[in-house]
A = this chain, B = another copy of it.
Amino acid sequence: MSGEIHEECGVFGVYSRNAADVAGMVYLGLYALQHRGQESCGIVVSDNGSFKSHKDLGLISDVFSPGRLDALGSGNIAVGHVRYGTTGASSRANCQPVEVYHMKESLALAHNGNLTNSEALREKLELDGAIFHSTSDTETIAYVITGERLKHSSAPEAINSAMDIIKGAYSLAVMTKDELIAVRDPNGFRPLCYGITKDGCYCVASESCALQAVGATFIRDICPGEIVAFSKKGVTSITDHCGACKKTMCVFEYIYFARPDSVIDGVSVHNARISSGMALAKEHPVEADVVIGVPDSGIDAALGYSMQSKIPYGIGFVKNKYIGRTFILPGQPDRESKVRIKLNPIESTVKGKRVVMVDDSIVRGTTSAIIVRLLREAGAVEVHMRVSAPPFTHPCYYGTDIDSCENLIACHRSVDEIAKIIGVDSLGYLSLNDVDFSGKGDGFCTACFGGGYPTDVPDNQSKFCFENQASGAND
């Protein structure tokens, strides 16, 4: 149930030599990236350096009515952003892309990730007279880039210099008056790629599925540490920060965040999930009659488990597709009613059967426990849960909300204890060794599974916890 874990953002940018409906293209691109953030979104269009923007809380479809989109007009460059965040009256100030109006060079900036030295940077900037309107990292990045811009003759060079200052996870789509710039941090924590349309427009996107959504052909991923600029001069790349450190792409992009039809750093997300399911079947086999996945994120791994184990694959649940994120139950609803209206078991699939139920994670465990109960009510005689990732035990500092210990069921509990809590006959997690989507055994950040932090982390480590975590299996 990784529905309880959230990616922070998705970015999309377009560069066209001539005036075009770049806003419309960003709109389509963001539609394909909506799964990366549903709290707010925004688009900024540049028509030869004159910026128009619209940003608000809500889904792409709510925020951008046809009239709103038309009002952005045509232009030659545009950047867009979808964002996850906490709700609240004032959070509109945190909507992206961030726009900066400056005599030297105005810019708009869309950011996916999280800085690890944000607080220190902010303190220094404020002491130099800077004022902040929001609490987002992105405003800090904007300040640092603008500060460097005063010392350098071009935006890419300013960004190159800013990369010496900012630390942590960042995939950026930056727009100036005459160029679109894609930036990926040296660790390559978050994905970023680009492609080209038949009309010769360059598109930058968090995931390749967004390139397909606008009919663009994938060219390549931005390398960790690379700055790629699109302008009248063509495509130029600055690689000074490439290779500065080991690549540590977020493993949870493969497990849950990214769309299965995306290919990231050469690996198909769908295939990665099928492989996880197959590895899981090898690690934690069980005698059963049917393998089912918890929609939507457990489906691919369930199919992999079935393929490896030869136990038939079945469709175990119907998910109500009319339940939006604002779904509110009337009266004083218990959590069970809420799950029940979202997810209903198909009795004919599970009745009288020994069921293997595959999901991609267990966060708090509450929802898993309810689903298991629903399966038993529908007649399942055994329920064996298999999780296509290791247990969460450590917080994430790189742009997801895998948080403090007390909210993670695996943090202070053994697998046996967890199995008991959620009421399954057996439980098996994928082991950390099997989390290998590149097939080469390296190149991933597995910090949230206890795999170690690839960078310095903030001093104030209030999120941390080290003891007693679940790490194996009880089957």
Interface residues of A (CB under 8 A from B): 21, 23-24, 27-28, 31-32, 34-35, 38, 51-54, 59-61, 66, 68-72, 89-90, 92-93, 98-104, 122-123, 126-135, 142-143, 146-147, 150, 209, 212-213, 215, 259-261, 263, 268, 270-271, 296, 299-300, 303, 307, 312-315, 317-318, 320-324, 326-331, 337, 340-341, 344-349
Contacts and interface: CB of A to CB of B under 8 A. Distances in A.
A345 B24 contact: no
Contacts of A66: 328, 330
Given A54-B90, A100-B131, A103-B127, A34 B330 contact: no
Nearest to A348: B268
Nearest to A98: B133
A31 B346 contact: no
A327 B128 contact: no
A28 to B, nearest CB: 6
Contact of A300 (B126, B146, B315, B328): B315
A308 to B, nearest CB: 12
Nearest to A52: B90
Given A127-B150, A133-B133, A326 B61 contact: yes
B315 A345 contact: no
A321 B134 CA distance: 31
B89 A215 contact: no
Contact of A322 (B61, B90, B100, B122): B61
A320 B132 contact: no
A142 B131 contact: yes
Contacts of A209: 318, 344
A72 B89 contact: yes
26 contacts: A21-B330, A24-B331, A31-B323, A32-B320, A32-B344, A35-B321, A51-B90, A52-B90, A61-B323, A61-B326, A66-B330, A93-B99, A101-B131, A101-B134, A103-B122, A129-B129, A129-B130, A129-B147, A131-B142, A215-B337, A260-B315, A261-B318, A270-B315, A299-B315, A300-B315, A307-B312
Which one of A128, A261, A312 has the highest number of Cβ atoms from chain B below 10 Å of its Cβ? A261
Contacts of A71: 89
Contacts of A103: 122-123, 126-127
A341 B259 CA distance: 13
A163 B320 CA distance: 35
Given A89-B53, A129-B146, A330-B66, A260 B21 contact: no
